[in-house]
Amino acid sequence: LFPPEGIAHVVTGESENAYSTESKKEQYPQAKSVHGFRIDIRLVVEIGEEEIDVAAGECAKKNDDNKSINDNAKLLRECKDTIDGLVNNLKNTNDEAMSYMIQITGSSCALSTMHLAANGLYV
């Protein structure tokens, strides 16, 4: 999927996916300060000067149902933006576009994937 010179690394601590921020700016053109979701963990691949997201994660110390539901909804939206960013950056590939999400809550951990099954259909 990525050329051998691509460097993968983990970004931690409330960081933003640049593609997600640009997507939000398109939704709110009148707003002066728009930011994407702040994500606890991101796996990115550096290609040239660009960082391409491939995974997103959220962590919580306590197993709180409301926080878990909100984090899961945020991760689903972030994974969609990650896939859209991959499709946008890797236009000439026939590889299947997918993203990973990890949700760590207390002592539990859930790892999921999201795939672009067809144009506009994310599963």
The tens digit of pLDDT for each residue in 9-35 reads: 888 888 888 777 777 778 788 888 888
Contact 70, 46 (CB under 8 A): no
Task: Report the percentage of the chain scoring pLDDT > 70.
Answer: 93
- The pTM of the full predicted model, rounded to 2 decimals, is 0.80
Domain annotation covers residue 64: yes
Domain annotation covers residue 1: no
Domain annotation covers residue 2: no
Residue span of the structural domain in which 88 resides: 7-122
Domain annotation covers residue 86: yes
The model's confidence at residue 2, banded by pLDDT at 50, 70 and 90, is low
Q: How many domains does the chain have?
A: 1
Domain annotation covers residue 102: yes
